[in-house]
């Protein structure tokens, strides 16, 4: 009996350890989202470079989390709820890593267009959209730690707002390009940045769905509502 209790306690410590790393990873990703669009709005090339360089820490954490999760499966052979927990860790870390990549992409494009004449108000608009995704990410990580399926479902529903913001920005960029051809290069980059943020929202939503699976044992039945129908990986190179 004592040995069984020891095994359970040791397994719990393993899970707590990787979930703590997930939260650390989530904090770095939140920071990358904020700084990437702040760098654009403030035309701060050093801040953009900081985001690009910081992506390695996110990648390293993903590798660490996934290695540890694989070790737990191999050594502990978890079942039922415990297995769902470990599988969710894999999926959450993968989605966080991809969001970090999109933030890095925004930083790269910021460095590319930093010397171009600014297009009025576009940096602030992108920051508002990114802030929406950042808040969704914060809430979904809270839902993950608290095992709150209702909060996760709320985050999932809010992805529609991000899609609508993206569609509005897309139309705005088209208008700027038609009004002045000199805006075309900058607006194309801005469009890809907006698309990166829209894809961040999709990955946050994927995390929300994994939280629902973790808590209930089932993925949501209904198809996720989508406002935007443009190709998902437009401008989203790693």
**Residue-level pLDDT at 8:** 61
DSSP3 helix / strand / coil % (the chain, rounded to 5): 85, 0, 15
- The domain limits of the chain are 2-216
Q: Residue 125 belongs to what H/E stretch?
A: helix 122-146
What is the Cα 7 distance to its own chain's centre?
34
**Residue-level pLDDT at 202:** 97
**CA–CA distance, 147 with 104 (Å, rounded to integer):** 30
pLDDT tens column, 32-90: 999 999 999 899 999 999 999 999 999 999 999 999 999 998 988 877 788 888 999 99
**Residue-level pLDDT at 124:** 85
204 contacts 140 by C-beta, under 8 angstroms: yes
Residue in 115, 102, 100 with CA at minimum distance from that of residue 45 = 115
Task: With a cut of 80, say whether residue 222 has pLDDT above it.
Answer: no
Please enumerate, as own/partner, the contacts of 170-177 that have beta carbons within 8 Å and a separation of 24 or more.
170/194, 170/230, 172/122, 172/125, 173/122, 176/119, 176/122
**Residue-level pLDDT at 51:** 97
Q: Give me the CATH topology for the region 2-216.
A: Methane Monooxygenase Hydroxylase; Chain G, domain 1 (1.20.58)
**Residue-level pLDDT at 228:** 53
Q: Residue 169 belongs to what H/E stretch?
A: helix 149-179
102 contacts 196 by C-beta, under 8 angstroms: yes
Model pTM score = 0.89
Residue in 116, 127, 106, 130 with CA at minimum distance from that of residue 198 = 130
Residue 53 Cα distances to 38, 48, 93, 108, angstroms:
16, 9, 19, 11
Considering only residues 165 and 9, tell me which one the structure prediction assigns the higher pLDDT.
Answer: 165
């Amino acid at each position: 009996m004592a040995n069984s209790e020891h095994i359970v306690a040791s397994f719990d410590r393993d899970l707590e350890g990787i979930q703590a790393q997930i939260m650390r990873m989530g904090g770095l990703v939140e920071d990358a989202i904020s700084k990437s669009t702040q760098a654009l709005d403030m035309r701060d090339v050093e801040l953009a470079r900081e985001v690009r360089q910081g992506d390695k820490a996110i990648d390293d954490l993903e590798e660490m989390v996934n290695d540890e999760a694989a070790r737990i499966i191999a050594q502990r052979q978890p079942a039922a709820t415990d297995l769902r927990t470990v599988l969710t860790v894999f999926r959450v870390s993968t989605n966080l890593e991809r969001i970090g990549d999109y933030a890095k992409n925004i930083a790269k494009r910021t460095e590319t267009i930093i010397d171009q004449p600014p297009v009025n108000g576009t940096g602030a608009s992108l920051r508002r959209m990114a802030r929406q995704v950042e808040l969704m990410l914060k809430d979904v990580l809270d839902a993950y730690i608290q095992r709150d399926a209702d909060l996760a479902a709320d985050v999932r529903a809010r992805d529609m707002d991000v899609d609508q913001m993206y569609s509005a920005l897309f139309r705005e960029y088209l208008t700027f390009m038609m009004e002045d051809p000199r805006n075309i290069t900058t607006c194309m980059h801005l469009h890809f940045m907006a698309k990166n943020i829209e894809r961040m929202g999709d990955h946050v939503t994927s995390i929300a769905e994994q939280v629902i699976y973790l808590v209930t044992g089932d993925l949501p039945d209904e198809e996720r509502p989508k406002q935007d129908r443009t190709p998902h990986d437009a401008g989203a190179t790693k």
